[in-house]
């Protein structure tokens, strides 16, 4: 019961479905364009551990309360980062090819960004 009360508080700040899809699509695009680089099993476990104790996590669905992404998927992507400042995830070192592809995807995403809908 105490968990439900905690989640009610967290649900108030949950990103909308639109925001979740927008964030996840952007992350998935970056990930695919970089050649689908995964983090190691150890880093994946460390990322989820960080999320489980984070004040922003939506525990019921393991969604990030800042970007809205489903963490079991996002945390596997080497190109993805924690949106908190500072990041709560260990820095990942991308290969030159992965880095260039991720930067190109980020630039394309910025160019294609439409007007902000509130």
For ligand SF4, the binding residues (CB under 6 A) are 50-51, 54, 56-57, 64, 66, 71, 82-84, 88
Q: C-beta of 111: minimal distance to ligand SF4 in Å?
A: 25
Provide, for the chain, the percentages of residues in helix, strand and coil under a 3-state DSSP scheme, each rounded to the nearest 5: 50, 5, 40
d(CA 20, CA 69): 5
Q: C-beta of 8: minimal distance to ligand SF4 in Å?
A: 17
Secondary structure (3-state) at 7: helix
Q: C-beta of 69: minimal distance to ligand SF4 in Å?
A: 7
Rg (CA), the chain: 15
| Pick 71 or 105: Cβ nearer ligand SF4 | 71
| Pick 92 or 108: Cβ nearer ligand SF4 | 92
């Amino acid at each position: 019961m105490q968990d439900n009360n905690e989640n009610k508080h967290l649900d108030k700040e949950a990103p909308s479905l639109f925001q979740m899809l927008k964030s996840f699509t952007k992350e998935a695009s970056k990930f695919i364009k970089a050649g689908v680089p995964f983090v190691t099993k150890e880093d994946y476990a460390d990322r989820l551990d960080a999320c489980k104790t984070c004040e922003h996590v939506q525990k019921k669905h393991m969604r990030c309360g800042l970007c809205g992404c489903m963490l079991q998927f996002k945390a596997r992507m080497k190109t993805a980062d924690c949106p908190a400042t500072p990041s709560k995830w260990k820095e990942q070192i991308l290969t030159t090819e992965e880095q260039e592809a991720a930067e190109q995807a980020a630039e394309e995403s910025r160019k294609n960004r439409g007007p902000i809908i509130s």
